[in-house]
Structure 1
Amino acid sequence: MTFKKRKRPPALSISNDMRTHVSGMQMKLATERELEDASLAEEVTVVEGRTFALSSKRGNRRFSCEDAYQAAPGLDGDPTRGIFSVFDGHGGREAADYAADNLHDNILREVNDVGSHLDPDEFMKQVKAAMIKGFLATDQEFLSFGDLRGGATATTAYLCKGRIWVANVGDCRAVICQGGQAVALTHDHRPDCAVEREAVERRGGEIVRERVQGILGVSRALGDRELKSYITAEPSVFCGTISESSEFLILGTDGLWDHVDNQEAVEFVRLTLSQKKGIHAACRGLVELARANRSRDDISVLVVELCSYQASGLI
């Protein structure tokens, strides 16, 4: 189902719509009054579903939030399938909005062409390739619109029948709680990483003050047409299984991860859930923790509980 966009306070440009492929899902959308109150507090909790929640806060150096998100649990009525993303725009929010509107469709179009009859290793490999194709297609589409500017980092998690794939470009990060331990499923694509620096230089670019051409602080991103010769939109992709010890997944923009380390975030969410406060409170609390740790950037946090995505029988 698709939810209509609600009118939002002009100072806060976070998206308040969600596209999902499941009917009858329980969720809570922010009301007009909540959005107005959130605008005053620079925060809005956009949506809470049965297995996930998201909270976002505008950075205090900006007039609008450049983060975006997309969430689709229970794909095609299957509770063991879902896809979730967070996006962090730069140079405006056009690229983040475009990716939020189109990336999932592009990925799922490719994923749905992967045959379920394949052996497990080949299935994992082909879904990984499908996610890469989805990212590259989204990037090419965005660039084909000459009037769209800016870029976006992104992290997308696709869950299917006890397996998980996580693709990322840039420094949005995915961290899974595995038996109480934080395990990063992504690598930040920043120019201070030797591998990323060398890749930029092979394309003819240079790193100045830890930025591509002295401008961009990430080495992979969607969009950024002026720097596309030097960076790529091809994501790194993690593939793994969701076991009984897999508790929850945290997707966050760099406004979170630059100020809260992986284990600290996992322990905070575990404590909040153990106190029966729910994932809504866990997301909001992580945002507030990052702000208390002096994050001045936009902060977006999406937490997915993984119990529903475990499966006893794998393909």
Structure 2
Amino acid sequence: MGTYLSTPKTEKSSEDGENDNLIYGLSSMQGWRATMEDAHAAYPDLDASTSFFGVYDGHGGKVVAKFCAKYLHQQVLKSEEYAAGDIGTSVQKAFFRMDEMMRGQRGWRELSVLGDKINKFTGMIEGLIWSPKSSDSNYQVDDWAFEEGPHSDFAGPTSGCTACVGIIRNNQLIVANAGDSRCVISRKGQAYNLSRDHKPDLEIEKERILKAGGFIHAGRVNGSLNLARAIGDTEFKQNKFLPAEKQIVTANPDINTVELCEGDEFIVLACDGIWDCMSSQQLVDFVHEQLRSETKLSAVCERVFDRCLAPSAGGEGCDNMTMILVQFKKPTQSSAPADGQSSSYKPVGHRSKTRGKQSLVVCW
């Protein structure tokens, strides 16, 4: 059956949590796939005023998704831009930083530890041999110091993952996306996409792919990858004359900044295993229906999986499934955009762009 199992794995890994401003539930399920390649991150208290949620959908392996789940939010926190209040730039830099960190001896070692049992053992051994010693005066764990070793020239993983991140600070929601995982907000029962699926046939993606020396065949980049943006996939990022954002495949995320309003009920972040089976509005309607009788948000996510799971292997409903549901505890009031920047809202699919970032006010 190739990449599919004879019977699906329907066991679900779920979690619930909350803080003063929101409640969240999440779940993941392997389904019909032979392996589980999704990962996620949920930090309702990233700092005193900020919550962080992310879904990472791996392809060609699980390690890049797991790497992002472990490190991406940490890189957001560490940046000077984050400290200055520019969350959009900090998360954009964190996406690019993932590709940088996965190179070289240290990157190879970290990915190995996150991989299968054989690679994990090898990575741990190489860590003992090659990693900088704590006695080194200039070494700090968080510096991601350069390591000598047999994999010092490692160019990065050939596998990759999508990344869709939602960061909530006070009345502002920042969404960063690379790939075809998706963030949707429900406002007075209406679904609005806060991310765009980065498929190769989109004009802006196609133009970059061709300029970088790639091609599109059967809807796939170089006849292989059905995504135009992703973290990892370094075989598509080898043009030394182009910056990271102009490579055949780029980790550069689209960024939306949304001012939350009284009618905002919840957001959903989910991998394409969900969106292959349900439209954004169908999912929002389904969640509303479930919330009439269910208060545990992870249980709502689990019911979505049961709704999407295919009866037999092959086609829609056979992918790994991961979903995070974040419900706002109380209405929030509209506020002026940060830093005095103007914002405007246009319906999904007709959003203006400035330097790859979007600023939206979804109040009306």
Scaled by the length of structure 1, the TM-score of the pair is 0.78
SS at match of 1:186: coil
| Counterpart in the other structure of 1:49 | 17
5+ long unaligned stretches in structure 2: 1-6, 108-153, 239-247, 339-364
Which one of 324, 329, 332 corresponds to residue 307 of structure 1? 329
Decide whether aligned partners of structure 1 residues 48 and 40 sit closer, same or farther in structure 2, where only a CA change above 3 A counts. Answer: farther
1:117-154 deviation per Cα after TM superposition (whole angstroms, max 9, x unaligned): xxxxxxxxx32112111111112112343274410001
| Counterpart in the other structure of 2:258 | 240
5+ long unaligned stretches in structure 1: 1-38, 117-125
Residues 174 and 249, structure 1, Cα contact 8 Å, conserved in 2: yes
- Alignment pair present for 1:115 and 2:84: yes
Which one of 270, 273, 289 corresponds to residue 291 of structure 2? 273
| Counterpart in the other structure of 1:84 | 53
TM-align CA RMSD: 2.2
| Counterpart in the other structure of 2:89 | 129
How many angstroms does 1:44 deviate by? 1.5
How many angstroms does 1:53 deviate by? 1.1
Residues 159 and 309, structure 1, Cα contact 8 Å, conserved in 2: no
User: What count of residue pairs does the alignment treat as equivalent?
Assistant: 265
Residues 60 and 160, structure 2, Cα contact 8 Å, conserved in 1: yes
How many angstroms does 1:112 deviate by? 6.2
1:5-64 deviation per Cα after TM superposition (whole angstroms, max 9, x unaligned): xxxxxxxxxxxxxxxxxxxxxxxxxxxxxxxxxx984331331113111111113131x2
| Counterpart in the other structure of 2:359 | none
| Counterpart in the other structure of 2:66 | 97
- Alignment pair present for 1:68 and 2:39: yes
- Alignment pair present for 1:206 and 2:215: yes
Q: Distance in 2 between matches of 1:309 and 1:226?
A: 46
Q: Distance in 2 between matches of 1:86 and 1:308?
A: 24
Q: Distance in 1 between matches of 2:9 and 2:200?
A: 34
Decide whether aligned partners of structure 1 residues 49 and 135 sit closer, same or farther in structure 2, where only a CA change above 3 A counts. Answer: same
| Counterpart in the other structure of 2:187 | 178
Q: Partner letter of residue 188 of structure 2?
A: G
How many angstroms does 1:202 deviate by? 1.1
Decide whether aligned partners of structure 1 residues 66 and 309 sit closer, same or farther in structure 2, where only a CA change above 3 A counts. Answer: farther
State percent identity of aligned pairs: 32
Scaled by the length of structure 2, the TM-score of the pair is 0.68
Residues 260 and 289, structure 1, Cα contact 8 Å, conserved in 2: no
Alignment of 1:286-301 (within 5 A): 286-292=304-310, 294-301=316-323
Q: Distance in 2 between matches of 1:99 and 1:198?
A: 27
SS at match of 1:275: coil
Alignment of 1:159-170 (within 5 A): 159-170=168-179
Larger radius of gyration: 2
Decide whether aligned partners of structure 1 residues 68 and 244 sit closer, same or farther in structure 2, where only a CA change above 3 A counts. Answer: same
SS at match of 1:75: strand
Q: Distance in 1 between matches of 2:70 and 2:91?
A: 16
How many angstroms does 1:288 deviate by? 1.5
Decide whether aligned partners of structure 1 residues 162 and 283 sit closer, same or farther in structure 2, where only a CA change above 3 A counts. Answer: same
| Counterpart in the other structure of 1:123 | none
How many angstroms does 1:292 deviate by? 4.6
Q: Partner letter of residue 166 of structure 1?
A: V
SS at match of 1:92: coil
Decide whether aligned partners of structure 1 residues 225 and 160 sit closer, same or farther in structure 2, where only a CA change above 3 A counts. Answer: same
Q: Distance in 2 between matches of 1:309 and 1:170?
A: 31
SS at match of 1:42: strand
Residues 283 and 302, structure 1, Cα contact 8 Å, conserved in 2: yes
SS at match of 2:97: helix
